[in-house]
Amino acid sequence: MDRFSFLNAAHTEFFAQLYDQYTENPDSVEASWRSFFQGFDFGQESYNGQDAVTHIANVASGAVESTDVSAKLQKEFDVLKLIEGYRVRGHLFTKTNPVRDRRAFSPTLDIENFGLSSSDLGTVFDAARVIGIAPCSLADIIKHLDTIYCQHIGIEYMYIRKPEIVQWIQSKLTVNDNQPAFSVEKKKTILSKLNEAVSFENFLHTKYVGQKRFSLEGGESIIPALHTLIESAAEQGVEQFVMGMAHRGRLNVLANIFGKSTQDIFGEFDGKDYDKEYFDGDVKYHLGLTADKITSTGKKININLAPNPSHLETVGAVIEGITRAKQDKHFGDDFSKVLPIAVHGDAAIAGQGILYEIVQMAQLDGYKTGGTIHIVINNQVGFTTNYLDARSSTYCTDVAKVTLSPVLHVNADDAESVVHAMQFALDFRMKFARDVFIDLLGYRKYGHNEGDEPRFTQPVLYKLIAKHQNPRDIYAEKLLSEGVIDAGLVKTLEKEYKDNLDQNLEASRKKDLTIITPFMQNEWKGFEQVSNDKMLLKVDTAYTKEGLTQVANAVCNLPEGKKFISKIQKLINDRKTMFFETDKLDWAMGEHLAYGSLLQEGYDVRISGQDVERGTFSHRHAVVKVEESEEEVTLIDSLEGSKGKFHIYNSLLSEYGVLGFDYGYALASPNTLTIWEAQFGDFSNGAQIMIDQYISCGEDKWNNQNGIVMLLPHGYEGQGAEHSSARMERYLQLCARHNMYVADCTTPANFFHLLRRQMKTTFRKPLIVFTPKSLLRDPRCVSSIEDFTTGSFQETIDDTTVNKADVKTLVFVTGKFYYDITAERENNGRTDVAVVRIEQLFPLPVEQLKAIIAQYPNADDYVWAQEEPKNMGAYSFMLMNFDLVKWRLASLKAYSAPASGSYTRAKRRHADAIKMVFDKDLFR
C-alpha cells in the first residue's frame, strides 16, 4: 500500500473542486494553479469522453491506471503529490536544530515514495506552476521545495481549513523562497542587537558569579527578532505592545528591548532594600516594566512587559486581559492597534494546561485580542527533563493546532531566519487577526539556573553545547564572509556596550535603595496606595432615586415588537413590580442597580464567567433571548444617561485562564468594574494559582493595584461537597495588611453599596464576595429603595430587633446562616439572643465590633456561628484576629469534605449547628 495514500484521500476532492472553480472563473483561483490548469487543458480531448473534473479526480486517487492515460500525465500528478508532501511534512526534515541531529521521521520525502524515480529528475513538469515557478525539471522543483520547506525554517500550516489563509501562506513562502533577503543596514542592526544580547549575559556572568539570572544564552536571536517585530509592527499601525514571558531571558529583554536602566537591574542583583516599607518586592527576573519608546522611524509606541510569578504560563492569560482592556478603552473595534506577545518555554507550553485554555479564548467574543504572536524559547530540556519525557506530541507547539494556527520552527543560530520568521508572523497576525507561533529551537547554555550542573542529567548534550559558538559570532562570521562588516566591528561593538555597563554598575553601587516602578503607571495616575485604615473609611455610595428609576426602567422593560418566552416576561414583570409597587428589591435587582448607577457615572462594567449572562441560578438575566430568533438583548444597554459601557460574556468552561484574563483586564482598566463569577464558589479552586500568585499578593510583590471582583456563590443547601462552600478559609488565610477585601453580604442593598464602593474609592483592591444561592429568591432577603438612596456599605450590621439589656447570648455570624439562626430564634421565642452580622471579614472592622459588644452589658455568652465545618469557614480567622471575647463555636464538626453528599445527612448536620447556637450544652 502506498505510504502516502493519506495524501491522495485528503486532496483528491480538492483538485477536482479547484479545477471546477477554474473552469467557471479562471481569475478566482490562485495564480499558480491557474497556470497549471491552463497547461493541463491541452489533454481534455483524450479522456475517452470523461469530463476533466472526473478525470482529475480519478487520476489523483489512482482509480484510473497509468495505462489508461499518458505516462506523462500520471507523472504530473505524482509531482503534485510530491509538492503536497513537502507542504504537509517538510517541517519534519528541516535543519532547525543547532546542536544535534533531528529525530528521524518516516516516511521521508524521497521521490520514490511518490511514484517517481531518478530517471524523472531531468523531465520538465508543468506542476511547477503550482509553486509559483515556470515549468522546469523535477530536480529544480525538488531544489525549490527543499529551499522553501526544509532549511532553517520549517512551517506547519496545511491543517488550516480556510483556503484563503493557506493560499496566502503559500504565496508568502514563495517570496525569496522563504529565505531572508535583508539590506546591509538591516544586517548590521541584527548584529548590533545580537551583540547586546550576548554581551549583557557575558557581563552578568562575570560580575555576578553563581547568581540566578536565567540566562538567555542559546536563544539570543530573540532579541533582534523582538526588535524587528516592534519596529515593523509600529510601521503597520500598532501603537501598544503587551508582552508576557517567564524568567528565562527576561533580564535581557528588559535591558535590550524595553530599555530598563541597567543601574536598576544591578541594584536588584546587589540585593538592596526597597524604598517603600509596605512593599516586599519580588526576585528581579519576575518584575515587569512599562515604557514609551520612539521607533527608528519616529513612531511613538507604548510597550509593556507584565510581571509574573514562577508559575510560568499564568502570565499568558494576564496579558490577553491587559490587551483586551487597552483595546476596549482606546481603540474600539480596531484590535490590531494593540499586539500581545507571549514568550514561552518549550517544557512549559507543552506541560501546562492553561495554554489550552488561553488558545481556546483566541476567537471568542469576550476574550479575543486580534491575534497573539507566541514565541517559544526552545531549550530542548525542562529543568532536568529531556524533551522526549516532557511531551507526547511531536512538537511543544502542537497546542497551536487547536485553533489552526500556523507554526514556524526556526534554527535559533540563524539570526536572519529568526528575524524573517518574525516578520512573517507579524504579517500573518495583521492580515488575519489570528494567533501564530514561532518555535525558536536553540539550547540552554547552563543548567536551569547558573548555579545548576546540567551534565548530571544531559552529559552528551552539554558536551556539544560547550563547544558551540554563540549566535552573534556565527552571524559575524557570515557577514564577514559576505563583506558586510570589517573584522574588528564585533570587538568594537562589544567594548562600547561593556563600557556602558561598567559605568552603570559603578553608578548603581552608589545608591542605597532599589526603586521598583509600578507596571502601567500611566493607567494608574490619580490612584493612591493605602493600608487597612483607609480601607475601612466610609465611602458615600448612595444614589439618587431618579437615577435608580432610570436603571429600573431599563432592566424592567422588554423591548416592544419582540417575543420572549413567558417565563422571561414574568420575571421582568416581577422586577417592575418590586421596584415600582412593593418596594421590596431582591438580590438581582440590587445588582442591576449597582451596575446601572456606575454606568451613569461614567464607569465601565465587565462581567465574565460561566453562564453569567443568565446567571447560574437564573437570577441575573442581564441578557435575554428573543424566542424565535435567539437574538440577544442586553436590557441595560437601553439605560438613559449611560456614559459607560456594559460588557457581559459567558466564558468558556475555564476558571484558571478566564480569571487570569479578567485579572489582567482589571490591571489595565482601573475605572472598569471587572467581575469574574464562579459558576459555584467551589469551582474557583480551579484558578487557585491566579488567586495565590496574583490576586492576593500582586500589590506587595510588584507594586500593582488591581480591583478585580470575584463573585463566589456560597451556601449550604444540601447540594453536596462541590456545590456548597467557596472555601472561605482559603481566602482569609491569604489576607494580610492591606491586600484585599473579603465580604459576605446579607442584603441586596449592602451588596449594591459594596460594588459601588469598589469604584468610588481612590484606590483599588481585589474584592472577594461570597454571594448567595437560596437567598436570591428568599422573601426575607430584600431591601427598600431607601436603602439604596441613603448610607454606604455596612461592614457590620447590629441586631435591631432585640432589647439589648435582655441579651445574654451574643452571636456573630456571616452570610446566609444569619437567616437560618434568626428563623430558629423566632420559632423558639428567644429574646435573650442577639445576632450580629459581619458583612466584611477583611479588613476586619474591629473597632465597630468593639462598639457593638459594648452595647450588650449583660451578655456573657459569645458565639461564633457558621454553617461550614469547624476546620473551614471563618472560625480560625476570627480566633486569630479577634480576641476581645472568648468564643463558643456553633458549627459542624471538622470534616475533610466541605459537605455531605446526602441531603438528609446535610440537613441534619445543619440543624445541629443551629441548635448549638441556643444550647451551650451542645458545645464541642
- Residue pair 540/792 in contact (Cβ under 8 Å)? The answer is yes
Asked if pLDDT for residue 300 goes beyond 50, the answer is yes
φ, ψ at 769 (rounded to 5°): -120, 125
- If you average pLDDT over residues 777-789, what whole number do you get? 97
The confidence band for 29, taking pLDDT boundaries of 50, 70 and 90, is: confident
Report the sign of the C-alpha dihedral through residues 668, 671, 672, 677, in that order: positive
The candidate with the shortest Cα–Cα distance to 809, out of 746, 765, 853, 753, is: 853
- If you average pLDDT over residues 541-560, what whole number do you get? 97
Q: Tell how strand 436-441 and strand 632-634 pair up.
A: unpaired
Asked if pLDDT for residue 432 goes beyond 50, the answer is yes
- If you average pLDDT over residues 812-826, what whole number do you get? 97
How many Cβ atoms from other residues are within 10 Å of residue 107's Cβ? 14
Q: Report residue 603 as a C-alpha cell.
A: 464607569
Q: What pLDDT digit, counting tens, does each position of 466-507 carry?
A: 999 999 999 999 999 999 999 999 999 999 999 999 999 999
Q: What pLDDT digit, counting tens, does each position of 565-591 carry?
A: 999 999 999 999 999 999 999 999 999
φ, ψ at 333 (rounded to 5°): -95, 0
The confidence band for 12, taking pLDDT boundaries of 50, 70 and 90, is: very low
The candidate with the shortest Cα–Cα distance to 245, out of 374, 115, 396, 402, is: 374
378-382, 727-731, 741-745: segment of lowest average pLDDT = 378-382
How many Cα atoms within 13 Å fall on the side-chain side of residue 202? 15
Say what the pLDDT of residue 282 is: 84
- Residue pair 840/741 in contact (Cβ under 8 Å)? The answer is yes
Report the sign of the C-alpha dihedral through residues 235, 236, 237, 240, in that order: negative
The confidence band for 797, taking pLDDT boundaries of 50, 70 and 90, is: very high
The confidence band for 311, taking pLDDT boundaries of 50, 70 and 90, is: confident
- Residue pair 420/180 in contact (Cβ under 8 Å)? The answer is yes
- If you average pLDDT over residues 370-388, what whole number do you get? 94
- If you average pLDDT over residues 817-830, what whole number do you get? 96
- SS3 annotation, 732-796: HHHCCCCCCEEECCCCHHHHHHHHHHHHHCCCCCCEEEEECCHHHHCCCCCECHHHHHCCCCCCE
- If you average pLDDT over residues 313-325, what whole number do you get? 97
Please state, in angstroms and rounded to a whole number, the distance separating the CA atoms of residues 94 and 179. Answer: 13
Say what the pLDDT of residue 59 is: 53
Give residue 732's identity as a one-letter amino acid code. Answer: L
Residue identified by cell 514568550 is 343
Say what the pLDDT of residue 62 is: 57
Q: Is 489 helix (H, G, I), strand (E, B) or coil?
A: helix
Say what the pLDDT of residue 41 is: 61
25-39, 65-79, 265-279: segment of lowest average pLDDT = 25-39
- If you average pLDDT over residues 172-186, what whole number do you get? 95
389-403, 443-457, 849-863: segment of lowest average pLDDT = 443-457
Please state, in angstroms and rounded to a whole number, the distance separating the CA atoms of residues 844 and 814. Answer: 12
Find the Cα–Cα–Cα–Cα dihedral 904, 908, 911, 917, rounded to 10°: -150
Asked if pLDDT for residue 270 goes beyond 60, the answer is yes
Q: What pLDDT digit, counting tens, does each position of 72-90 carry?
A: 888 999 999 999 999 999 9
